[in-house]
Amino acid sequence: MTEELVLKLSQDALKTTAMLAAPLLVSTLVVGLIVSIFQALTQINEATLTFVPKMVVIALIIILAGPWMLDVLSQYTINLFEGLAIMVRE
């Protein structure tokens, strides 16, 4: 394995991880911000109040974006296994 190949594999793994995590992280960030603004306006200081809306949003995102996420992950895995013979020879 050459250094370029290792860097490319690392870059592809990080890119795939970011693509899979981004919808979940962005949606929970937005929900957390909205709930925090609501808490500031109503002066409700309950730490567990953000937990339920975030879990609901994560469940919805997994239901809606789950097939896309699974497709991205399976394409990455297929490409990795298909190129395994070439990677070992280098």
45 pLDDT higher than 90: no
The per-residue pLDDT for range 14-26, each reduced to its tens digit, is 999 999 999 999 9
The per-residue pLDDT for range 57-71, each reduced to its tens digit, is 999 999 999 999 999
Q: What mean pLDDT do residues 20-41 have?
A: 94
Q: What mean pLDDT do residues 29-39 have?
A: 94
Structural domain total, the chain = 1
pTM of the predicted protein model: 0.79
Residue 67 belongs to domain spanning: 3-89
Cα–Cα dist 24/28, whole Å: 6
Using CB atoms within 10 A of its CB, is residue 16 exposed (0-12), middle (13-18) or buried (19+)? Answer: middle
Cα–Cα dist 55/7, whole Å: 35
